[in-house]
Structure 1
Amino acid sequence: MTATSRDSFKSRLGFVLAAAGAAIGLGNIWGFPTQAANNGGGAFLLVYLIVTIILALPALYAEIYIGNQFQRNPVESLKQACGEKFAKTGKNAGLIGLVGALMMLSFYTIVAGWMLAHSLSALALLFNATELSEWLASSSTLRNVIFTPIFILLTAGIIHQGVHGGIERWSTRLMPILLIMLIGLIIFILQQEGALEGVKLYLVPDFSQVTNPKLIISAMGQAFFSLAIGVGSMMVYGSYIKKDQQIGKLVVSIAVLDTLIAFVAGLLIIPALFVAQHAGQQVFADGKLIGEGQLIFQILPELFSSMGTIGIVVSFAFFALLSIAALTSTISSTEVPVAYFVEAKNVSRQKATWLMSSAVFIASMVLIAYFEVLFGLVIQVLTTILQPLMSLFYFIVVGWLWKKGNKLTDIATLKQDNSLKLLGFYLRYICPVLLVIVFINIAF
C-alpha cells in the first residue's frame, strides 16, 4: 500500500478533532481532576501546565512530525527515521509503542465499561428499574466481563470503517457533543451549595507543594497520558494528513484543546465532590480522596440521586460524557496496531480490526481476572515509565538519528526559519535532559 493510496483525514478540522479526541479521554475528565484533588489542587494544576508546555507539547510535536514525514504506521516510520544503522532499534521502539497501545486499551476498556454501565444505571432508574440500576452501579466481575467487550465492540465498529469514514466522521460528531455536555454539567454543578469551596481548592495553588517531586512526577505522567503521547496514536494520526502541513499550529491546537478540557473538567469534578461533602458525604481523609479514582462511582451517583429526577438526568449525562470521552481515546489507540497490520502484514482493515480487538479482549480479561495485582501496576508502568521513555526516544530520533543529525535544524537552515531552528535545538538538547532528570527523580 503506497502513501498516496492510504486512507486519510479529509480536513484539518477533522484531524484536530480526531487527535484532540485521542487526547481528550478519561485521563482529562476523570484522571486529571482526581490527581489535582489529591495533589494540592491549584499546585498540581500549575505544575501540570508547566510540564505540558516544556515537555509534553514538544513530545507531541515530535511524535506527530515523525508520522507526518513518513506517511506510515509508527513501526515503519520510526524504522525509516532511524536510518539504516539504527533501523532495527527504530522498529523495536515502534513495536514497544504498539504494545503500549494494547496495554492502554487493556485497562481503558475496563474503565470505559464502568462509565457505560453507570450511565445505563441512571437510565434504568428513570424507568423505575431499581434492581437493574443497582446492579449496573455496583462493581462486580460479571459486570466487567459484560461491559468491557461491549466497549471493545463499539470501538471496533468505528475503526473498521476506516480513517475518513470511521475515525474522522465519528470524531466530528462526538467531540462537539462532549463539549456541550461538559459545559452544561459545569453550569449545573457550580450553582449547587459547596461548589465554590471546590473551585477555590482547584484554582488557588499552595506554592509550598509546587516543588514536591511526587507532585511533579504525577503531573508529568498525567500530561503524557492525557495527550496520548508515547503509544503511537498521534504518530499514526499525523501520517493521515498531507505531508508538510503546518504541524506546529496543528499541535498547538490539539494541546490547547486537550489542556482546556482537562482544566474545565476540574471545574466539574472537584466542585461536585465538595457539593457532595457539603451534603454530608465523606469525600476526603487526611487530605486525600477516599478511594481515589473509584470515588466518583460511589459519591457522585449518590449525590445525583439525592437531587430527584433532575439529578438522575444529570447522572446519565455525566457518565455518558465520560463514555464518549473514553470512546474517542480507544479509537486512536486501536488504530495503532491496526495500521501496522494493514501496512506491514498486508491484512485487510476489517480483519486487522477484529484481530486486534480480540487481543484487547484477552488482555482485558486477564486484568479482570487478576484485577488487584495487575490493574494499578499496568497503569503505573504505562504512564510513568513507558510513555515518558518513548517520548525520550522521539526526541533522540528527531534530534540525533534522523539523517544522522537534527532534521528540524537542517530544514530551518534551508528556510532561514529561526523559530524552527530554536525548536530543533530545544528538542535535541533541552527535552532529553529534562526527561532524564525526571527519571532520576523517579528512581531516587
Structure 2
Amino acid sequence: MSIIRDSFHSRIGFVLAAAGSAIGLGNIWGFPTQAANNGGGAFVFVYLMVTVLLALPALYAEMYIGNQAQKNPVSALEDACEGVSRNVGKYAGLFGLLGAILMLSFYSIVAGWMLSHALSPLAQLSGFDSVATWLGESSDLRNLIFTPIFIILSALVIKKGVHAGIERWSSRLMPILFLLLVALIIYILQQPGASEGIEMYLVPDFSQLKDPNLIIAAMGQAFFSLSIGVGGMMVYGSYMKKGEGLGKLVVSITALDTLIAILAGLLIIPTLFVAQHMGQEVFTNGQLIGGPQLIFSVLPTLFESMGTVGVYIALMFFSLMSMAALTSTISATEVPVSYLLESKGYSRGKATLLVSIIVLAACMTLVFNFDTLFDAVISWVNTFQLPIMGLFYFIVVGWIWKRGNLLKDKAVIDAKPSLKLWGNYLRFVCPLLLTVVFVNTVMAM
C-alpha cells in the first residue's frame, strides 16, 4: 500500500518554512559574534561571497536529492547511492538522522532558556517579580520545566503535518520574526553608542582579508547557518513538487537567511556598543563576549538599565529568539518523523510522540551531565556532523548518483549546457572548498 505524502501547498510557504529552518539562534547570536570578532565589515564582505560560492550550492545539493527522490532523507540517499551500495546511502541517512536528534538535544535546552526569558518580562509586567527573577536565572528546575515545554511546542506543529502544521505556522511566525527584528533595530539605532557599532559592522577594513582565520570563520558560518547536514532541508525539498523551479527557490531561501543574519548583526552589534556606552564590559581580551554569557547576561542587564521600556524590549527580543528557535527545531524534528512515517509505517501522531520522547531523553541526559556533555555535543554537531554530511551530499550529487540525476543526464545537459558547468562546480570545486573549511576547523581545535 503506497503512502500519500503530505506536501507544501505554495512556493511562498515552502520558502518561509525552509528559511525558518535555516534562520535560528546561530543567525541571531552566532553571526553577529563572528562578525565582531573577525573584522566586522570585512567578515560580512567575505561571508556574502562565501554564501554564494559554497553555502548556496550545498543547500541546493541537499534539497535536490530530496526533491528528486520525493522520499525521506534515509530512503532518498539509499536511492541515490544504489549504483555503489544502498547500504552506504542508508547508513549515511541514519547518520544524518542521528545528527538531527543530537542537534535537538542541545537546541531544545537553549530554546527553553529563550522561552523562559521571554516570559520573565511578562511576569514582571504582571507584578510577579519573584517569578520574573526565577525565570531569568539558570537552574536545573527551569531546564526540567521549559525544555519539555519547547519540545511539546515543536511536536504540536509537527503533528499537524506539512501543510497544516509546518507551512501554516512558518507562514505566521516568519513575518512576525522579521517585524520584531526590524522594530528592535529601529529602537536600538537611536540609542547612544549605537553609531560605533554600525561603523564597526558595516565599514570593512580590507587589510584584514589577509587573515586566513577570517576567511575560514566566514566560510564556516555561511555553511552552517543554512542548517545543512542533518536532513531538514532534504526532507523539505522532498515535500515540494518534483522539479518545481528548485534553483530559484534555493536562491530565495539563501537570500532570506542571509538578510536575517545581516539584520541580526545590525541589531546585536550596535546593542553591545550601547551596553558598553552604559558602562558594561562587552569585550574580553579584544574578543566580544559570546554565546550564553552574551545573550543571558550582558543583554538582560542592558534591558534592565533601560527602565520600563527595557522590559518591553526584553519581551520582544526573547520572543524573537524563541520564534527563531521554533522554526529550526520544527525542521530537525521532521527528519526522524518522516523516516518513521515512510520507512516504518507509523502514523504521524505516533511518530511525533516517539521522536519527542527520544529527544526529551537526550535533552535530560545533557541537563544532568551538563558540564561534561553540553559543549561536547555542540562541538560534535557543528565541527564534524554538518561538514561531513555536507561533503557527502556533494559526493553523491557529483560522483555517486546516476539514475534520476539530471545534472549527469547527457541528453538534459546537451539541451542545457549551463547544467554541465553547474554540475562540474558541485562535483569538483565545492568538495574542495568544504574540505578546506573542515580541515582548518579541526586543526584549529
Q: TM-score normalized by structure 1?
A: 0.96
Question: Is the counterpart of residue 104 in structure 1 residue 107 in structure 2?
Answer: no
Match of 2:354 in 1: 355
Higher deviation after alignment, 72-81 or 283-292: 283-292
Deviation at 1:38, TM superposition (A): 2.4
Match of 2:236 in 1: 237
Partners in 1 of 2:315 and 2:145 — Cα distance?
Answer: 19
In the TM superposition, what whole-angstrom CA distance separates every residue of 1:296-336 from its partner, at most 9, and x where no partner exists?
21121121122222221111010000000100000000000
In the TM superposition, what whole-angstrom CA distance separates every residue of 1:15-71 from its partner, at most 9, and x where no partner exists?
001001101111111221122222222232223222221111101000000000010
CA contact (8 A) 1:221 1:384 kept: no
In the TM superposition, what whole-angstrom CA distance separates every residue of 1:138-188 from its partner, at most 9, and x where no partner exists?
111211111111100000010001001100110111111111111001000
Match of 1:224 in 2: 223
Match of 2:265 in 1: 266
Change (3 A) 1:142 1:210: farther
Unaligned 5+ segments in structure 2 are none
Change (3 A) 1:370 1:202: same
Partners in 2 of 1:206 and 1:145 — Cα distance?
Answer: 46
Match of 2:313 in 1: 314
Partners in 1 of 2:357 and 2:145 — Cα distance?
Answer: 15
CA contact (8 A) 1:399 1:405 kept: no
Q: Secondary structure at the match of 2:401?
A: helix
Match of 1:40 in 2: 39
Q: Secondary structure at the match of 2:402?
A: helix
Q: Secondary structure at the match of 1:334?
A: helix
In the TM superposition, what whole-angstrom CA distance separates every residue of 1:97-121 from its partner, at most 9, and x where no partner exists?
1011111101111111111111111
Change (3 A) 1:328 1:291: closer
Match of 1:417 in 2: 416
Partners in 2 of 1:64 and 1:406 — Cα distance?
Answer: 13
Unaligned 5+ segments in structure 1 are none
Change (3 A) 1:174 1:326: same
Which structure 2 residues correspond to residues 6-17 of structure 1 after superposition, within 5 A? Answer: 6-17=5-16
Question: Is the counterpart of residue 21 in structure 1 residue 16 in structure 2?
Answer: no
Higher deviation after alignment, 229-238 or 25-34: 25-34
CA contact (8 A) 1:81 1:90 kept: yes
Partners in 2 of 1:388 and 1:411 — Cα distance?
Answer: 30
Match of 1:130 in 2: 129
Q: Secondary structure at the match of 1:128?
A: coil
Match of 2:331 in 1: 332
* Letter paired with 1:310: V
Deviation at 1:291, TM superposition (A): 5.2
Partners in 1 of 2:236 and 2:19 — Cα distance?
Answer: 11
Partners in 2 of 1:214 and 1:360 — Cα distance?
Answer: 35
Which structure 2 residues correspond to residues 190-205 of structure 1 after superposition, within 5 A? Answer: 190-205=189-204
Change (3 A) 1:42 1:293: farther
CA contact (8 A) 1:38 1:288 kept: yes
Partners in 2 of 1:30 and 1:372 — Cα distance?
Answer: 22
Identity value in percent: 64
Which structure 2 residues correspond to residues 230-309 of structure 1 after superposition, within 5 A? Answer: 230-290=229-289, 292-309=291-308
In the TM superposition, what whole-angstrom CA distance separates every residue of 1:83-108 from its partner, at most 9, and x where no partner exists?
24321111111001101111110111
CA contact (8 A) 2:83 2:402 kept: no
Partners in 2 of 1:261 and 1:180 — Cα distance?
Answer: 11
* Letter paired with 2:77: L
Q: Secondary structure at the match of 1:210?
A: helix
Partners in 1 of 2:405 and 2:342 — Cα distance?
Answer: 27
CA contact (8 A) 2:123 2:131 kept: yes
Partners in 2 of 1:15 and 1:211 — Cα distance?
Answer: 39
What value does the CA root-mean-square deviation take over the aligned residues? 1.7
Partners in 1 of 2:338 and 2:281 — Cα distance?
Answer: 47
CA contact (8 A) 1:126 1:309 kept: no
Match of 2:78 in 1: 79
Partners in 2 of 1:135 and 1:388 — Cα distance?
Answer: 38
Partners in 2 of 1:13 and 1:2 — Cα distance?
Answer: 28
Partners in 2 of 1:404 and 1:235 — Cα distance?
Answer: 18
CA contact (8 A) 2:383 2:442 kept: no
When the two structures are aligned, how many residues end up with a matched partner? Answer: 443
Match of 1:150 in 2: 149
In the TM superposition, what whole-angstrom CA distance separates every residue of 1:256-299 from its partner, at most 9, and x where no partner exists?
00000000000001100110110111111211123544212112
Match of 2:401 in 1: 402
Deviation at 1:366, TM superposition (A): 1.1
Change (3 A) 1:214 1:376: farther
Change (3 A) 1:291 1:426: closer
Partners in 2 of 1:180 and 1:431 — Cα distance?
Answer: 35
Deviation at 1:411, TM superposition (A): 6.0
* Letter paired with 1:374: L
* Letter paired with 1:197: E
